[in-house]
Chains A and B, each alone.
Chain A
């Protein structure tokens, strides 16, 4: 029996029609990251607006369905939020939005966008990434 529980409708929808994918003109800061074991490459650009809010977020790159869906869902989740709240987004929160419970290998695919998005915010704020966020992937 085929168990495609990982490829649920929302994952496939975000994979095939990713939100906020592309280049961001006049970005405040960009960051990129990859997972050399599987070949996922993701970049995130953010535009900081008034009141310390994340005015716009865009991601780009080549990655598997889980990674692209995760980046797309994450970009929707953090858009318009305060930079500090976006940076505080937990892996549990992202996984609950994705609605999957990936094995350790695919977990890296799901969490790479979160780490790269956070890295862009850390870079923008001129701060060093916390150990906890560093260890996400």
Chain B
């Protein structure tokens, strides 16, 4: 993802209708251990479709191109 910030990746994903969580995830000690200011987390469940996974993949690629 290069230098892209978690919030920006989340925003680009949101723009294509994919909801992810970005930030500290209420786990600041973990972020400190990882040495990261913030991370993005995508979670799948039984209702997610392959088409949605494809949209997420495109959003990640787009965010990397745009902001990485």
Contacts and interface: CB of A to CB of B under 8 A. Distances in A.
Contacts of A123: none
Interface residues of B, number: 19
B62 A36 contact: no
B67 A38 contact: no
Nearest to B67: A65
Give the secondary structure class of B's interface.
helix
Interface string A82-117: 000000000000000000000000100100000000
A37 B15 contact: no
Interface residues of A, number: 20
A39 B66 contact: no
Contact of B6 (A39, A41, A66, A106): A39
A25 interface: no
Interface of A: 2-4, 6-7, 12, 15, 36-41, 62-66, 106, 109
Interface of B: 5-8, 11-12, 15-16, 22-24, 28, 31, 36-38, 62, 66-67
9 contacts: A2-B12, A2-B16, A2-B62, A37-B24, A38-B38, A39-B31, A40-B7, A106-B7, A106-B11
